[in-house]
Amino acid sequence: MPFETLLASCLAYVVLMFGVAFAADRAAARGHVRWLDHPLVYTLSLSVYCSAWTFYGAVGYASRSGLEFLTIYLGPTIVFTGAWWGLRRLVRVARMHHVTSVADLISARFGKSNRLAGLVTLIAVIASTPYIALQLQSVSLSFEVFATDTPYGPTLNGNTLGGTALWVAAGLALFTILFGTRNLAADERHHGVVTAIALEAVVKLVAFLTLGVFVVWWLADGPADILDRIAAAAAEPQNAEGWALRADRWTALNIVSAAAILTLPRMFQVMVVEAADEERLNTAGWAFPAYLFAMSLFVLPIAVMGRELLPAAANPDLYMLTLPASQGQNWLALLVFLGGFSAATSMVVVCAIAVATMVSNHWLVPVWLALRRPQGGEDADDLRGFVLNARRLAILAVTGAGWLYYHASGGTAALAAMGLVAFAGMAQVLPAMIGGLLWRGANRKGAYAGIGCGAALWIALIFLPSIGVGGDIPLPSGVDPWTFAVFLSLSMNILAFIGVSIFGFPDPVERLQGLSFVSAVEPIRHSRMTRGEGRAEPLLAMARRVWGPEEALRYFRDEAHAQGKTGYLPDLTPRFLTRLERRLGGSIGSATAHAMIDRVAGGVALTVSDLLQVADEAQRAKEETQRLESARAELARTALQLREANDKLTALSVQKDAFLSQISHELRTPMTSVRAFSEILKDPTLTHEERSRFAGIIHDEAGRLTRLLDDLLDLSVLESGRAQLSVTAVNLHDLISRALSAASATRPERSFLIDRDVASEHVGIITDADRLLQVLINVISNARKYCDADRPMLHIRVTRPAEGGTVINIMDNGSGIDSSRQSLIFEKFARLNDPARAGGAGLGLAICREIMAVLGGDIAYLPGLGGAAFRISLPQRPPVELPQAVA
Amino acid sequence: MPDRPLFLERASFHRRRLGDAARVLPVLATLLLLLPVWWVPRSVSYAGGAVWFFALWAGLIVAIWALHRALLRAEAATVRASEAAAAQVAPRDGLAGRRPSGEAERGPDAL
């Protein structure tokens, strides 16, 4: 294929990328983000993990070490099996704090420390520079394959096409600056870049799969044949040795690549920073492993076929290109070239954005602010412009450093080596990151110790040897130096992190942040941070410097509006300050935002007692809630009681009406007789007998009226509780005897058999004897009146229950009272049968009940004993003061 | 912090158990990935290993897909159930119109 065709298609592809990024940015600016926000775009953007090292290097790696290359993909797959609870949580916390990079995450968690972020940035820069160099080298090498027209790949002897790398680096820097620093968006999202990367991901995948299908079904005879060839290749002695998996190395590689997917700056950028929310991980959770699966499925077949079909001198890292080219498939080779080009460029772009953000936020801006402070004070200059320029400068520096490294090293022999070095370096951040998210006790000193210790070991044992500085560590044979270095650095890292954290005491800001990160709840500012209203204006001025006047004014107006205020100056509530700080942090990093707000708003350093007060406030709020809750329950109870009282009052009102009508009726009957017979008495023709009979009737009726009125008076005195008791000691036997003889006047024609247990009756009781006698007479008279037995009998039993007091049971052998009416008998005017026959007003038992209540006892009907049975219970003594009663 | 319920109704219970499954899956995957290489490195180094690892990988992808689908459905069911409960409670008692918040639902401790 002519080199010009290649160059033209490459340029066309670049133009396409610029166009796509431009279109996506424009669509996003117009608010058309629906398909830009699709989980599929997110998933594809994650494929920036598959850099040129993966694209070309995996085949080389597989041809040297067999299945070991799988670890680079299997580690991330393991991480994604925990996407639901792990990654989603990471994204949620990071979005909550408007985190801009992995360094910012660590810094925000450990008390917004800029120096810690600076340290992480340093590791990222050291790890990324050779890694970017590696991408430039791969593009440059792939160009050379076509340019030099050597079918088996160029040799790695120098800078024959060093210009290519420079052009590529310059082009990528331009792309990154154009689309990566268009705005200082508070949430750091770059729709144009992400969309272009998603498209490149598709190109990568299509190129790889096409070549794979070509190799498996065109060059070989399908999967079974490939498996046979793998087995045959493995049988060769030098392969059998190189391809044999080593468990320790296998484990270390899996750990490191699992760490890389979380901590590599570019992965953190696309996975966490560019994610609008954690919901897209629901799709990416399985789709990204599937992408990796597809990207690695054909690696081993291509490696095996490359070994078979190409001469031994061919560079395995370029089998991807040389294999189709040697078979005369130039268009396939071009497609693969574009795939590799995509892989390299997308990695460089995202890595440059991520590292440049870190460099500008954690190195350049703090230094600039520190330098400006003495001169400017409350300076009014354009911080936004500076931050953007710092970022552009950092992008140029990062890509430039990558190119310089490539130029100076003159190309490294194996692509894979530098990738692993970068992985192992960024893995040193993992313990602090995981610990910070899961363990509230983790603190800044621990993070310093862990990261510092791990990074130092990584530089000494992995990084420097990889660039040829320093010798090998003397290790017993059989110990893999790289595995040893990884395990040593990571375990020292973890030990230092945990050990120092255990013995440290974090400062209050750090503890607040720790709570917020571990519990995934919104951070709270302490109420003491609230300041007077006069200070909102400097904050607005500061925000204007970062975001530009329009954006800042809009934000402040919205916040003021949310507080219910008009104008542009919201009250400086803790909530507002927290939100402002986090949003500023989204542009310039949390540590710088924290420092700036504290400087402008006159921050008060938090103390431990403030922190305890925060806990107190939370506790108080909780108690307040509980108090309200119990007050609510209390109200509900009161309402219920009121309802019951109301029901009772209504019932009483009805009862009162019934009582009045009853009593009118009862009074009217005798009055009518009295009036009628008085009329008759006026008749002069009456005989003396008649006159005396009628006068007798009038007398009787008047007597009945008097009794009725007496009863009513008695009842009202008893009910009102004004009854006077004259309490004395009395023998119950005498009382019962008197009652029996008094009651015998009622229906004297009936002879009752009285059954008494005299021995038990001889008990002394303390009560009002007259009142008790009244009750006894009433009950016995009732029995005499209503007992319908042929041979009426009356049983009287006296018992003294163990709990004290005296119980008198009076039973007859009549038919008793119907169970449905038993509840009525103690009510006023309750007469169960014919009133004429009873001859009473129906107040007797009602009076009895009131008397017993006044005496402190009770009278009850005993059902189920054959006849009518009443139980009179007396307390040991009535509920009145005895001396008073005696006096 | 809201008081967490001690017991959950069916939909939430089901979702919690699926959440437990999501926690177990990475452990299981790690064991299946690492143990064969520790125990029988020779058998999984060549063609047999390729088959084993790619089959394991495909299985994991399907497992994550199925788990996420089930979790999303369970989450939707929980939301529906709590809405239904809120609708049931709201007319009877004017004070109890509050819907359970997402955070409280996410609390991990209740069984």
Q: How confident is the model at residue A514 (pLDDT cuts 50, 70, 90)?
A: confident
Q: Any bridge partners for residue A754, and if so which? A: A794
Q: Are A534 and A610 in contact (CB under 8 A)?
A: no
**Residue in A closest to B27 by C-alpha:** A78
* A440 and A548 assigned to the same domain: no
Over residues A216-225, the pLDDT tens digits come to: 999 888 889 9
Q: What is the pLDDT of residues A542-568, one digit of tens each?
A: 888 788 778 888 888 888 888 888 777
Between the two ends of chain A, the Cα-to-Cα distance in Å is 134
**Average pLDDT, stretch A523-531?**
55
A655 and A579 in a common domain:
no
What Å distances lie between residue A686 and A88, A670, A676, A683, A866, CA to CA?
Answer: 114, 22, 14, 6, 52
User: For position A833, what pLDDT does the model report?
Assistant: 57
Question: Is A261 found in the same domain as A204?
Answer: yes
Taking a C-beta distance cutoff of 8 angstroms, is the pair A589, A100 a contact?
A: yes
Question: Is the pLDDT score of A77 beyond 90?
Answer: yes
Same domain (yes/no): A256, A384: yes
A286 CB neighbours in chain B (<8 A) are: 61-62, 64-65, 68
What does the mean pLDDT of chain B come to?
A: 77
pLDDT band for A526, please (50, 70, 90 cuts).
low
* Contact between B71 and B15 (Cβ < 8 Å): yes
Which among A254, A289, A300 is the nearest to B33, CB-wise? A254
Percent of chain A with pLDDT over 70: 90
Cα separation, B92 vs B84, in Å, equals: 13
A636 and A570 part of one domain: no
Last residue of a domain, one of A660, A686, A714: A714
If asked whether residues A174 and A236 sit together in one domain, one would say yes
ipTM of the complex: 0.81
Query: Which phi and psi (to 5°) does residue A796 adopt?
Result: -125, 125
Contact B29 A78 (CB under 8 A): yes
**What is the DSSP-derived secondary structure letter of residue A414?**
-
Of B42, B50, B67, the CB nearest to A67: B50
The amino acid at A291? Y
Cα A820 to Cα A644: distance, rounded to the nearest angstrom: 25
Residue of A nearest to B2 (CA): A622
Contact A303, A316 (CB under 8 A): yes
Q: How far apart are CA A236 and CA A120, in angstroms?
A: 45
**pLDDT value of residue A188:** 61
Q: Has residue A720 been placed in a domain?
A: no
Q: Is residue A518 part of a domain?
A: no
Residue A474 clears pLDDT 50, i.e. is over it: yes
Top residue of B23, B39, B45, B52 to mutate, by most chain A CBs within 10 Å, is: B45
A244, A286, A632: residue with CB nearest B95: A632
Angle A199-A201-A207 from CA coordinates, rounded to 5°: 105
pLDDT at A523: 67
C-beta separation of A352 from A180 below 8 A: yes
Using H for helix, E for strand and C for coil, what is the string for A641-677? HHHHHHHHHHHHHHHHHHHHHHHHHHHHHHHHHHHHH
Domain count, chain A: 4
Number of Cβ within 10 Å of residue A713's Cβ equals 10
| CATH number of domain containing A635 | 1.10.287.130
Does the pLDDT value for residue A86 go beyond 70?
yes
- Residue A536 falls inside a structural domain: yes
d(CA B71, CA B14): 9
Q: What is the mean pLDDT of residues A644-663?
A: 85
**How many CB atoms are located within 10 Å of the residue A147 CB?**
16
Mutation target for B interface from A278, A286, A291, A302: give the one with most B CBs within 10 A: A286
Same domain, A528 and A447: no
The structure tokens listed for A374 are 């003495």
> Does the distance separating the beta carbons of A286 and B65 come in below 8 Å?
yes
Mean pLDDT of chain A: 84
Q: Which residues on neighbouring strands pair with residue A858, listed in sequence order?
A: A873
3-state SS, one letter per residue, for A755-785: EECHHHHCCEEEEEHHHHHHHHHHHHHHHHH
Q: Which of B1, B33, B64 is opposite residue A80, by nearest beta carbon? A: B64
Asked if the model's pLDDT at residue A510 lies above 80, the reply is: yes
Closest C-alpha to B82, from B15, B2, B34, B23: B15
Distance from CA of B69 to the nearest CA of A (A): 8
Whether residues A685 and A765 share a domain: the answer is: no
Chain A residues with at least one Cβ partner in B under 8 Å: 66-67, 70, 74, 77-86, 227-228, 230-231, 234, 243-247, 250-251, 254, 282-283, 285-286, 289-290, 293, 297, 300, 521, 618, 622, 632
Chain B contact residues (CB < 8 Å to A): 1, 19, 22-23, 25-26, 29-30, 33-34, 37-38, 41-42, 44-47, 49-51, 53-54, 57-58, 60-65, 67-68, 71-72, 95, 103
Question: What is d(CA A789, CA A674) in angstroms, rounded to the nearest whole number?
Answer: 36
For residue A572, list its beta bridge partners. Answer: none
Category of A829 on φ-ψ map: left (φ > 0), alpha (ψ -120 to 50) or beta: left
Q: Say if residue A799 is in the same domain as residue A882.
A: yes
* A and B: number of Cβ contacts within 8 A: 103
What is the nearest CA distance from B84 to chain A, expressed in angstroms?
A: 23
Q: How close does chain B come to A474, measured CA to CA in Å?
A: 25
Taking 70 as the threshold, does the pLDDT of residue A515 lie above it? yes
> What type of residue sits at position A633?
A
The model's pLDDT over A12-21, given as tens digits with 9 standing for 90+, comes to: 988 998 899 8
Nearest-CB residue to A85 (from B23, B60, B62): B23
- Residue A185 shares a structural domain with residue A312: yes
- A261, two tokens: 């997917």
Task: Give the closest-approach CA distance of A310 to chain B in angstroms.
Answer: 21
DSSP bridge pairs for A806:
A874
Q: Is A555 in the same domain as A485?
A: no
- Say if residue A779's pLDDT is above 80: yes
Domain boundaries, position A734? 725-886
Pick from A593, A563, A618: which is nearest to A572 by CA? Answer: A563
Does some domain include residue A517? no
The CA–CA distances, whole Å, from A198 to A38, A248, A713 equal 11, 35, 100
What 3-state class would DSSP assign to B79? helix
Q: What's A398's domain CATH number?
A: 1.20.1730.10
A582 contacts A512 by C-beta, under 8 angstroms: no
pLDDT at A497 over 90: yes
For residue A841, what is the domain's CATH number?
3.30.565.10
Q: Give the mean model confidence (pLDDT) for residues A105-127.
A: 91
Question: What average pLDDT score do residues A569-592 get?
Answer: 80
Average confidence (pLDDT) over A801-817: 86
Q: For residue A125, tell me if it sits in a domain.
A: yes
Question: Is residue A106 pLDDT above 50, yes or no?
Answer: yes
* Residues A327, A445 within the same domain: yes
CA–CA distance, A338 with A343 (Å, rounded to integer): 9
Q: Please tell me which of the candidates B26, B37, B72 has its beta carbon nearest to residue A250.
A: B37
